[in-house]
Amino acid sequence: MSEPLRLGVAGLGTVGIGTVKIVQNHAALIQRRTGRPVVITAVSARSRTKNRDADLSSYAWEDDPVALARREDIDVFVELMGGADGSALDATRAAIATGKDVVTANKAMLALHGQALAEAAEAKGHVIRFEAAVAGGIPVVKALTEGLAGNDIRRVMGVMNGTCNYILTRMESAGLPYAEVFEEARQLGYLEADPNLDVGGIDAGHKLSLLAAIAFGTRVSFDAVRLEGIGRVSIDDIRRAADMGYRIKLLGVAQMTGRGLEQRMTPCLVPADSPLGQLQGGTNMVVIEGDSVGQIVLRGAGAGAGPTASAVMSDVIEIARGSRIPTFGQPATDLVEAVPAGTSAPAPHYLRLELADKPGALAKVATVLGEEGVSIDRMRQYAHADATVAPVLIVTHKTARDAIDHALSRLPATGVLIGEPVAIRIESV
pTM: 0.92
Sign of the dihedral through C-alpha 84, 326, 307, 138: positive
What local confidence, expressed as pLDDT, does residue 1 receive? Answer: 59
Closest C-alpha among 354, 351, 401, 345 to residue 376: 351
CB 250 within 8 A of CB 266: yes
Specify which residues 275 forms β-bridges with.
none
Indicate which residue of 100, 107, 142, 207 is catalytic.
207
User: Phi first, then psi: what are they for 413, rounded to 5°?
Assistant: -70, -15
Mean pLDDT by 10 residues, the chain (429 residues): 92 94 96 96 92 90 97 97 94 97 97 97 96 94 96 96 94 94 89 89 96 97 94 92 93 93 96 94 94 96 88 97 95 94 88 89 92 93 79 93 94 91 91
User: Phi first, then psi: what are they for 25, rounded to 5°?
Assistant: -85, -25
What local confidence, expressed as pLDDT, does residue 382 receive? Answer: 80
Q: What is the C-alpha separation between 141 and 312, in angstroms, rounded?
A: 12
* Dihedral-angle region of residue 228 (phi above 0 means left; psi in -120 to 50 means alpha; beta otherwise): beta
What amino acid is encoded at 283 in this protein? T
What local confidence, expressed as pLDDT, does residue 116 receive? Answer: 97
Q: Hey, how many other C-beta atoms are within 10 angstroms of the C-beta on 415?
A: 10
Q: Hey, how many other C-beta atoms are within 10 angstroms of the C-beta on 156?
A: 23
Is 21 labeled as catalytic in the residue annotation?
no
CB 254 within 8 A of CB 263: yes
> Which residues have a Cβ under 8 Å from the Cβ of 95 and sit 6 or more positions away?
8, 69, 70, 77, 79, 102
